[in-house]
Amino acid sequence: MDRREFLAGAAVGASSLALAAEAAAQSAAPNYAATRPAGFTPFAQSGKVVRVTKPGSMRPGNLFPKVEDAAQMVERAVKELTGESTLAGAWRKFVHPSDTVGIKVNGLGLRNMASNKEVVYAIVNGVIAAGVPAANIVVLEQWSGFLSATRVARSEMPAGVRTHVHAGSDLSAETRVPSGRTRYSRGLLNCTAIIGVPLVKDHSLSGFTGAMKNLTHGLVKNPEDFHRNRDGVNNRNSNIPDLYAHDAIKSRARVHIMDAFKVLYDRGPQDNPAARVVVESVMASTDPVAIDRIGTEMVDAQRTAHNMRTLERSGRPVRYLERAETMGLGTADRARINLVEVRM
């Protein structure tokens, strides 16, 4: 064998070893996908969003909804979305009695702009009505301060319902998405089904934060890494969909109940009282992209009403929704979204 043949053979051998090592690493990678209950197919309808509005549903002070009104609005929303006539029948479309159900709230904006406990409790009661044991229900959040902001308390929920915060430490092994590396919440991974309770908020970096971002950035270790422009490329169009498309979230997400009692139209995601308005709505959809598109409309409507430029014209177009549609995560094209309006 001459030198040329020897080097060629060595290169082939090294390549084979590298491929074998890569294959071994992939086979050893953890499986993040949830296993659905046998024979159960959750209800899903791309492009359909239900918005229920009830004037007079807020308590004096316009910060929090009335308990009875919030419960009625959530119930009406899931019934309209599924076509079912009963609360239990509607929720059984999304969850199975053998599911472990996580309810992801959003307390980043703190007490006056957080997922309202009245909405969360209505969801908990609906999930229990569907046959899920209280002990198989957990309210999820990133930090304990954010959870406290929602006013959710275990003592006010049916006995057995739990809460969990990952606090940046109770996390999976590192995993990769196309736009970076992260670690997902173990609280998320211990569930087989996730229900999101997002808000309608402006976001200083991504333009809008709603159903998708409530799950992606609230359930990973390093959300800040998925906002940045890196290497001169604007990753904001893909990093939110990339995180959502990972099996950790995509295989678990069942429905989003958007708490739209208030809309924050400027300088979010932290609360900005000067740009917080009451709209008294609850929205429901299994399509995170479609419900977020409607949410951006609501933000832009308020911006226009207050003589401000739209998100697009202010340099923060919500392009990640179009990217999410190309990835098969939902419907971004407004012309193909069926918004069902209900006024109570």
- For residue 26, pLDDT over 60 is answered with no
Residue 9's pLDDT band, with cuts at 50, 70 and 90, is: low
- For residue 207, give the 3-state DSSP assignment: strand
Q: Specify whether the backbone of 39 is left (phi greater than 0), alpha (psi in -120 to 50) or beta.
A: left
Global pTM reads 0.89
- Strands 199-203 vs 137-141: parallel, antiparallel or unpaired: unpaired
Residue 117's pLDDT band, with cuts at 50, 70 and 90, is: very high
Give the separation between CA 107 and CA 97, rounded to whole angstroms.
28
Render pLDDT for 181-208 as a digit per residue (tens, 0 to 9).
999 999 999 999 999 999 999 998 888 9
Residue 232's pLDDT band, with cuts at 50, 70 and 90, is: very low
With beta carbons less than 8 A apart as the criterion, state whether 52 and 76 touch.
yes
Each domain of the chain, given as residue ranges in start order, spans: 46-343
CATH class of 46-343: alpha beta
**Residue 290 CB neighbour total at 10 angstroms:** 31
Q: Specify whether the backbone of 267 is left (phi greater than 0), alpha (psi in -120 to 50) or beta.
A: left
- For residue 315, pLDDT over 90 is answered with no
- For residue 260, pLDDT over 60 is answered with yes
